[in-house]
């Protein structure tokens, strides 16, 4: 498993990261964490929002006894339920201490403000980030970052206060490559970029998107057609999509969720296996009519507060 620097944070992360959100739904995922470590995955991302703290608790159990320097641990603050957002300094400070307890560690390598588009971006700049920097000064927090879906919201914060890393999901995939266009904008401010959900929350899989998927119907139809195209050639769209995102994106790490050790082993195997160039071109042609099509997320005023890349 390749590793590389996470911008200027001093952290080194694996090119494939472990997204721990599924541990909130499947507490039996401890074996998946162990499989990830065995295969060289060293970057683990979680949040108190996932499973209402269950994912953090399970991940903490799975990492118990593992040399702390052997992995990079990221969690989040600010989101605690579907409609429970609190980016106040007091709450995020308490949240970090709660996460430390659940994860069984003395420090967090990276703390991200979770889905900032649902909050007041001004508060994130003036209050949330400074609160995390204060925790950084006493050694509880390493790097500080922001996460979310609308790239202009992330840029709005990055351009107003120092941010070590940003994390966005479904924004660098076979269907949507907008994150690549924003990378230089973030880099100008010394901010590293983490890609997440390269399978677009299930849309780029043989199984297809779940009923709650927020993408426009036309996007989901084209993704389903791409899956059919792959099946007709004896291929799995998820493998094509995962390898594409990891090997072409140029991001520090790409996060993929898993709760089953076999899924972890499959994902690691997939990124090392070449994809037929003709098939990739055919899939790209299939998705071309909906390339870079997105959807709104969060408060209306946070969709484009900082302009476009």
Question: Mind telling me the catalytic residues?
Answer: 50
What CA–CA distance (Å, rounded) separates 119 from 91?
13
Q: How many CA atoms lie within 13 A of 112 on its CB side?
A: 25
Instruction: Kindly give the pairing relationship between strand 108-113 and strand 84-85.
Output: unpaired
Non-local CB neighbours of 198 within 8 Å, separated by 6+ positions: 172, 173, 204, 241, 242, 244, 245, 246, 254, 256
Q: Which two tokens mark 31?
A: 């074996």
Q: Which two tokens mark 18?
A: 């472990």
Q: Find the angle CA(86)-CA(92)-CA(98) to the nearest 5 degrees.
A: 115
- In the chain, the N- to C-terminal Cα span, in Å, equals 32
Q: Contact 17/253 with Cβ under 8 angstroms?
A: yes
Non-local CB neighbours of 79 within 8 Å, separated by 6+ positions: 47, 48, 49, 85, 114, 115, 118
What CA–CA distance (Å, rounded) separates 272 from 187?
28
Helix axes 30-38, 54-63, angle to 10 degrees: 50
| E-only strand ranges, 63-107 | 72-77, 79-81, 84-85
Looking at the DSSP bridge assignments, the partners of residue 111 are 75, 144
């Amino acid at each position: 498993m390749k590793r590389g620097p996470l911008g200027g944070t001093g952290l080194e992360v694996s090119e494939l990261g472990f997204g721990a959100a599924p541990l909130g739904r499947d507490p039996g995922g401890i074996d998946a964490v162990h499989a990830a470590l065995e295969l060289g995955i060293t970057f683990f991302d979680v949040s108190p929002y996932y499973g209402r703290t269950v994912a953090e608790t399970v991940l903490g159990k799975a990492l118990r006894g593992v040399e702390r320097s052997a992995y990079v641990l990221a969690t989040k603050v600010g989101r605690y339920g579907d409609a429970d957002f609190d980016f106040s300094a007091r709450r995020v400070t308490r949240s970090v201490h709660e996460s430390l307890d659940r994860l069984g560690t003395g420090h967090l390598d990276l703390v991200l403000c979770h889905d900032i588009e649902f909050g007041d971006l001004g508060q994130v700049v003036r209050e949330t980030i400074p609160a995390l920097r204060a925790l950084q000064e006493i050694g509880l927090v390493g790097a500080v970052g922001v996460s979310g879906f609308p790239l202009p919201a992330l840029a709005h914060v990055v351009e107003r206060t120092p941010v070590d890393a940003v994390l966005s999901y479904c924004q660098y995939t076979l269907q949507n490559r907008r994150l690549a266009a924003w990378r230089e904008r973030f880099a100008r401010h010394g901010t590293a970029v983490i890609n997440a959900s390269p399978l677009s929350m299930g849309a780029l899989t043989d199984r297809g998107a779940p009923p709650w998927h927020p993408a426009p119907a036309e996007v989901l139809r084209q993704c389903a057609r791409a899956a059919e195209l792959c099946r007709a050639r004896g291929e799995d769209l998820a493998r094509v999509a995962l390898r594409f995102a990891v090997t072409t994106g140029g991001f520090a790490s790409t996060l993929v969720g898993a709760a089953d050790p076999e899924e972890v082993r499959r994902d690691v195997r997939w990124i090392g296996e070449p994809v037929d160039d003709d098939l990739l071109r055919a899939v790209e042609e299939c998705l071309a009519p909906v390339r870079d099509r997105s959807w709104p997320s969060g408060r209306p005023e946070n969709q484009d507060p900082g302009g476009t890349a």
